[in-house]
């Protein structure tokens, strides 16, 4: 039981993202593609370009 608790304590988001298993990388890629499709952007849009687009949309909504 004690060994199991030690294993569970190591299951943190920090550790998960530091080791970045392939399934997590794949999930992020699928999510990125789904978001790009929802906004009508190319699936390979760069993160900085996506942020610029989101900022422009936000500004146009509230100005």
Q: Give CB contacts under 8 A, 24+ apart, made by 17-23.
A: none
Total residues belonging to the chain: 63
DSSP assignment letter at 40:
T
Whether the pTM exceeds 0.85: the reply is no
Give the pLDDT confidence of 15-35 residue by residue, as tens digits.
888 888 999 999 999 999 999
DSSP assignment letter at 63:
-
Give the pLDDT confidence of 39-58 residue by residue, as tens digits.
999 999 999 999 999 999 99
């Amino acid at each position: 039981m004690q060994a199991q608790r030690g294993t569970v304590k190591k299951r943190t988001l920090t550790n998960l993202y530091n080791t970045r298993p392939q399934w997590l990388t794949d999930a992020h890629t699928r999510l990125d593609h789904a978001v790009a499709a929802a906004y009508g952007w190319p699936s390979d849009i760069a993160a900085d370009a996506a942020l610029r687009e989101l900022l422009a949309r936000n500004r146009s909504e509230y100005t």
